[in-house]
Structure 1
């Protein structure tokens, strides 16, 4: 087995088609098919099955795909480290930031700092849902991500950065008075929340459960633009971390009320692979990211870690 065959296999699975993969790799399809046959012979397993829509990995193929991504990623990191030895840090570093979190405010400071301190590092920033980002890290396709959650997961580690307080963002027509609102007072308020698998929703549901309540969800929305428009139109209120709540409220002329009795907080964490070490460039970016987070906590609405 060699790295080229692993690269070919990953490309075939990603494309879902031998023909498309051959075109992207700029090789003849019969040659690509022969590489796949050789790989299956080496593992003594069928790795792909043909369907009307293309090809799909078997269970063995899924397992190999996961390991192949990690192997190829680690080889890329080794190349970058060897090339940069004794020189300024170079290479690609990928950072995921969950949208609608305090993480999104880190993108511009991180870009500026990396450009200033390590100008030869190519920084890739991906704003996506936390579940997607964590999966990319597990598969070795992303170096790190700042996202909600700190619950143990296979293949991942979480470094707690801060705890964000959750706030109610309500249309002005609801006429909610005061800077705070209790969970009990939210019983009849129509809420616009993300789907149950979303980390934010999980912490909201847990906060309500402590009071033996359930949120009155009238719509599930995961688009920041649609959420702001819906709150502004009076369709319902929403619950967001304080850093994001203030931004959304300003965009739709809503009011912000910190949730109390009990207060609900959500952890903002740095997510890393517990199997693949960071390359030198990625480790340098991680240290800069942690410095930015520490500086941000001193002036931004992120609750210090207990």
Structure 2
């Protein structure tokens, strides 16, 4: 008998959630599909099942958990709060069952199955994509690797919901549902166009008071680090535009419109693309922490463990490339 589904805060989703008495994977699959599509009619078409039969399956599930799971409107259906909780857990359960099936079928035939890895753009993680693809294909050709380049907040949510295995992103703050393995610290550089006079050396934060800067939005980890450094210095950065696109940022620098502050990895890309200059900010030194993020309660599959090991190997090599400081845990692997 499967344990009751734990929910955030330590509560249990319905002590009457009698898994051994009827709740099965098929109903969970139906429920997830209905929520994904937002319509009983369209879900029935996708699932090749009559709508009355699908409605009956949903009613049975709601009766078993003693909770209303969906709210029906003229526009379709939306999950209730209990439905949202079940949806998150159902995704995890279905994914683990599928991985168990794959692992059993592949027993004795080498590692196989899907592994999803998130790589935050604008970070050193971007440089891992091709080496990771090459190494995984060479060592474990049976593993189907899915790479997702997205913002760190989005990748964190995907891992928290059990929809992604691993992610390499900036951040080191503990978050409920996630664990972070510190990898390295990337120094931040001032990057400016050729048309702009280079700053005096060494670059001091105090000298940036009047420099027009392009920075990401305040929720971005690098922006938070920059803002915090300016606050400690009793200053406010002169932000003339907030840019999230690497392409637009590079074009703005190339056009001589202003300067920016970037981690070493992205600074090197911008300089190579438009002939800009870069100098590390050394007074004070500002560093962005790169970490490997995964769930703190969902175990990794064997293929995901293998990919994690490869990622850690590759980051060891990456640290020297960007003059980054490896964290003790990472340095121990070299």
Q: TM-score range by the shorter chain?
A: over 0.9
Separation in 2, partners of 1:217, 1:294: 34
Q: Deviation above 4 Å: which 4+ runs of structure 1?
A: none
Matched, 1:98 2:120: yes
CA 1:248–1:21 in structure 2 vs 1: closer, same or farther (change >3 Å)? farther
Residue 179 (structure 1) shift: 5.7
Separation in 2, partners of 1:135, 1:60: 19
Corresponding position of 1:38: 60
Pairing partner for 2:43 from 11, 21, 34: 21
Matched, 1:261 2:279: no
Corresponding position of 2:311: 289
Corresponding position of 2:15: none
Q: Please list the CA deviations of residues 270-291 of structure 1 after superposition, one character each: whole Å capped at 9, or x if unmatched.
A: 0010111000011011111111
CA 1:48–1:168 in structure 2 vs 1: closer, same or farther (change >3 Å)? same
CA 1:212–1:31 in structure 2 vs 1: closer, same or farther (change >3 Å)? farther
Q: Please list the CA deviations of residues 162-196 of structure 1 after superposition, one character each: whole Å capped at 9, or x if unmatched.
A: 00001111122221235642111111212111111
Residue 305 (structure 1) shift: 2.4
Higher relative contact order (CA 8 A, sep 6+): 1
Residue 52 (structure 1) shift: 4.1
Separation in 2, partners of 1:147, 1:218: 26
Residue 37 (structure 1) shift: 1.6
Larger deviation, residues 218-227 vs 113-122: 218-227
TM-score, with structure 1 as normaliser: 0.95
Corresponding position of 1:66: 88
Please tell me whether the aligned partners of residues 264 and 322 of structure 2 are also in contact (alpha carbons under 8 angstroms).
no
Larger deviation, residues 160-169 vs 188-197: 188-197
Q: Point out the structure with max Rg over C-alpha.
A: 2
Separation in 2, partners of 1:54, 1:204: 45
Corresponding position of 1:219: 241
Corresponding position of 1:201: 223
TM-score, with structure 2 as normaliser: 0.87
Please tell me whether the aligned partners of residues 80 and 279 of structure 1 are also in contact (alpha carbons under 8 angstroms).
no
Aligned pairs for 1:95-134 within 5 A: 95-134=117-156
Matched, 1:5 2:27: yes
Matched, 1:158 2:186: no
Residue 20 (structure 1) shift: 3.0
Q: Please list the CA deviations of residues 260-306 of structure 1 after superposition, one character each: whole Å capped at 9, or x if unmatched.
A: 21111011000010111000011011111111111222344322226
- Alignment length (residue pairs): 306
Separation in 2, partners of 1:187, 1:300: 27
Residue 16 (structure 1) shift: 2.2
Q: Aligned-residue CA RMSD in angstroms?
A: 1.6
Gaps of 5+ in 1: none
Pairing partner for 1:236 from 240, 258, 269: 258
CA 1:51–1:232 in structure 2 vs 1: closer, same or farther (change >3 Å)? farther
Separation in 2, partners of 1:179, 1:17: 62
Please tell me whether the aligned partners of residues 316 and 326 of structure 2 are also in contact (alpha carbons under 8 angstroms).
no
Larger deviation, residues 90-99 vs 54-63: 54-63
Residue 130 (structure 1) shift: 0.4
Larger deviation, residues 199-208 vs 103-112: 199-208
